[in-house]
């Protein structure tokens, strides 16, 4: 069997995305199983990311695997000048699958080419974060009952936010209409608008963020506007409170509309929104567990049928 990796979301087919969502649904019904009993999962975090690491490690543990790895690169031989290739080959001797987060772009792709075991990309610099995208897709599907024909509003930092770029590409199969709401300095880059044009994806751009602009949204995907992204700090001061969501702005929202956010949130969603029925960002993070259980099974060659007929479920 060919080795499966989970390195990028861009080349997943429509069928594969729906297949992964269906598998995540099975794990949501029964998250605790022994499908990976006897397996060892390595989590190599060359860049710290507590949230992502805990989610992957929980997924592995709930499937009965054991987990090795490091959360802080300072403790590894990388600091002694070891190459990534050597580290990956060494860990391949021990583990059945490697989950890796790295600050270098393309690191996961390279690791997948040298490693004899499957590689799962848990983020490689500003490049890709496909498991986040998978849980975003699952959250959209779960709250809307479909991925088809949705109005998706992306708000905040659309220039550097890799999650919005990945989501944009993954949604191309499902006839979305995008609305890009951002300050000029952080607008959606040309290459992604070109991507939309090439794939017949409809989009509109807005700099204003108000009740009326977002009234048609099915999904409101919020991101953080970070001070360090601005070359002009005056500009930052001008816009920093413009892209903050509060209950006032949600008055005209459609009943089915849900608010997503890749987290961590700082001030872009007022705390009062947490109790609003449209808020979904905390549950969204919880969906990461089911999406990552599905990713583990897929890369280890366990099919949807096997998951559906699983006799190892712990009730």
Partner 1 sequence: MNKKEMLVAAIKNGTVIDHIPSDKTYQVAQLLGLHNLGTPVTIGYNFLSKKLGKKGLIKVEDKFFTDEEISRLSVVTPNIVLNIIRDFEVVEKKTVVTPSEIKGIVKCNNPKCITNNEPMKTHFHVENGILTCHYCEKEQDINKVELC
Query: Measured from the CB of residue 66, what is the shortest distance to partner 1 in angstroms?
Result: 29
By CB under 8 A, is residue 83 in contact with partner 1?
A: yes
Q: Are 68 and 96 in contact (CB under 8 A)?
A: no
**Token duo for residue 129:** 């974060």
Q: Which is nearer to partner 1, 127 or 142 (CB)?
A: 127
278 is catalytic: no
- Decide: is 85 part of the binding site for partner 1 (CB under 8 A): yes
**Residues 52 and 101 sit within 8 Å (Cβ to Cβ):** yes
Is 265 catalytic? The answer is no
| Dist. CA 11–CA 248, nearest whole Å | 39
Burial of 11 (0-12, 13-18, 19+ CB in 10 A): exposed
Choose the stretch contacting partner 1; rule: CB under 8 A; options: 31-39, 97-105, 210-218, 298-306.
97-105
Q: How far apart are CA 235 and CA 256, in angstroms?
A: 34
End-to-end Cα separation, the chain, in angstroms = 32
Is 52 annotated as catalytic?
yes
Supply the minimum distance, in Å, between the C-beta of residue 84 and partner 1. Answer: 5
H-helix or E-strand containing 234? helix 233-239
Site string for partner 1, 102-141 (x = CB under 8 A): -xxxxx-xx-------------xxxx--------------
Own/partner pairs for 36-39, CB < 8 Å, 24+ apart?
A: 36/60, 36/63, 36/64, 36/65, 36/296, 36/297, 36/300, 37/64, 37/65, 37/312, 38/64, 39/64, 39/65, 39/66, 39/96, 39/97, 39/300
Beta carbon nearer to partner 1, 105 or 274: 105
Give least dist CB 3 to partner 1, A.
Answer: 18
Minimum gap (Å) between residue 46 Cβ and partner 1 = 11
Pairing verdict, β 258-260 and 97-102: unpaired
The residue among 24 and 107 lying less far from partner 1, judged by its C-beta, is: 107
Tokens for 24, please give them. Answer: 């995540």
101 as an active site residue: the answer is yes
Q: Which of 51, 184, 202, 238 is catalytic?
A: 51
Rounded distance between C-alpha atoms, residue 147 and residue 77, angstroms: 44
Which of residues 61 and 109 has its CB atom nearest to partner 1 in the complex? 109
Give min distance, CB of 83 to partner 1, in A.
6
User: Quick one: 17 or 88, whose CB is closer to partner 1?
Assistant: 88
Q: Should residue 266 be labelled a site residue for partner 1 when binding is judged by CB under 8 A? A: no
Report, in Å, the least distance between residue 103 CB and partner 1. 8
Minimal distance, residue 85 CB to partner 1, in Å: 7
In this structure, are residues 44 and 101 in contact, taking their beta carbons and an 8 Å threshold?
A: yes
User: Among the options 62, 101, 224, 278, which is catalytic?
Assistant: 101
Indicate which residue of 52, 87, 163, 223 is catalytic.
Answer: 52
Among positions 136-195, residues that touch partner 1 (CB under 8 A) are 191
Q: CA-CA distances (angstroms) from residue 283 to 169, 193, 205, 258?
A: 23, 30, 28, 11
Between 34 and 47, whose beta carbon lies closer to partner 1?
47
d(CA 183, CA 156): 7
Active site residue 80: yes
Q: Which stretch, 80-88, 137-145, 242-250, 297-305, contacts partner 1 (CB under 8 A)?
A: 80-88
Binding site for partner 1 (CB under 8 A): 83-85, 103-107, 109-110, 124-127, 191
Q: Which positions are catalytic? A: 51-52, 80, 101, 129
């Amino acid at each position: 069997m060919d080795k499966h990796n989970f390195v990028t979301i861009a080349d997943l087919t429509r069928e594969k995305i729906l297949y992964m969502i269906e598998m995540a649904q099975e794990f949501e019904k029964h998250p605790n199983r022994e499908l990976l009993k006897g397996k060892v999962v390595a989590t190599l975090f060359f860049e710290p990311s507590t949230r992502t690491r805990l989610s992957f490690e929980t997924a592995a543990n709930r499937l009965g695997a054991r987990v090795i790895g490091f959360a802080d690169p300072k403790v590894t031989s990388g600091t002694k000048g070891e190459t990534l290739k050597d580290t990956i080959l060494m860990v391949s001797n021990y583990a059945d699958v490697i989950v890796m987060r790295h600050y270098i772009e393309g690191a996961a792709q390279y690791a997948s080419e040298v490693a004899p075991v499957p590689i799962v990309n848990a983020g490689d610099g500003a490049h890709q974060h496909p498991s986040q995208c998978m849980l975003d897709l699952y959250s959209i599907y779960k709250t809307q009952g479909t991925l088809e024909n949705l109005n998706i509003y992306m708000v905040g930092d659309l220039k550097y936010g890799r999650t919005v770029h990945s989501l944009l590409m993954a949604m191309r199969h499902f006839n979305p209409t995008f609305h890009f709401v951002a300050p000029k300095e952080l607008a959606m880059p040309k290459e992604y608008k070109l991507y939309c044009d090439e794939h017949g994806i409809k989009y509109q751009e807005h700099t204003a963020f108000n009740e009326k602009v977002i009234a048609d949204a099915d999904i409101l995907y919020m991101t953080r506007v970070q001070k360090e992204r601005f070359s002009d700090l005056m500009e930052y001061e001008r816009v920093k409170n413009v892209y903050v969501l509060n209950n006032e702005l949600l008055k005209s929202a459609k009943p089915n509309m849900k608010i997503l956010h890749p987290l961590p949130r700082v001030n872009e969603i007022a705390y009062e929104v947490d109790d609003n029925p449209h808020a979904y960002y905390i549950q969204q993070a919880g969906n990461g567990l089911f999406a990552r259980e599905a990713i583990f099974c897929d890369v280890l060659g366990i099919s949807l049928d096997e998951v559906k007929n699983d006799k190892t479920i712990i009730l």
